[in-house]
């Protein structure tokens, strides 16, 4: 679970960068490849997260999966706006 949260934090920092265009390659649905992902303990069995902008340009994150002990997990949060800002 901590590794999944670290991955989400990394993506959050990346998406929070000002000036994102609507062609951001990080937008979309991401499926965790458990076999290729290192964990410091038992890792989740499955994981999927989606990054998508809403009508106001706010990137929303939602995801879920099955944790190491078989429990369902889910997350939902706004990340950042996608509009460009000029100074």
Greatest Cα-to-Cα distance within the chain, rounded to the nearest angstrom: 49
What is the reported pLDDT for 83? 55
Which run of H or of E encompasses 62? strand 58-66
Distance CA 80, CA 4 (A): 20
Non-local (6+) Cβ contacts of 79 within 8 A are: 12, 15, 16, 51, 58, 59, 60, 61
pTM for this entry: 0.60
Distance CA 44, CA 37 (A): 10
19/56: higher pLDDT: 56
What is the reported pLDDT for 82? 52
Domain boundaries, the chain: 1-8+42-82
The string of pLDDT tens digits covering residues 3-48 is 555 455 445 444 444 444 457 788 999 999 999 999 999 999 999 9
């Amino acid at each position: 679970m901590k590794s999944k949260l670290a991955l989400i934090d990394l993506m959050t920092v990346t998406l929070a960068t000002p000036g994102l265009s609507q062609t951001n390659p990080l937008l979309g649905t991401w499926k965790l490849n458990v076999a290729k992902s290192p964990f410091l303990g038992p890792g989740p069995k499955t994981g999927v997260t989606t990054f998508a902008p809403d009508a106001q340009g706010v990137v929303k994150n939602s995801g879920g999966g099955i944790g190491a002990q078989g429990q369902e997990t889910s997350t939902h949060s706004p990340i950042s706006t996608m509009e460009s800002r000029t100074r």
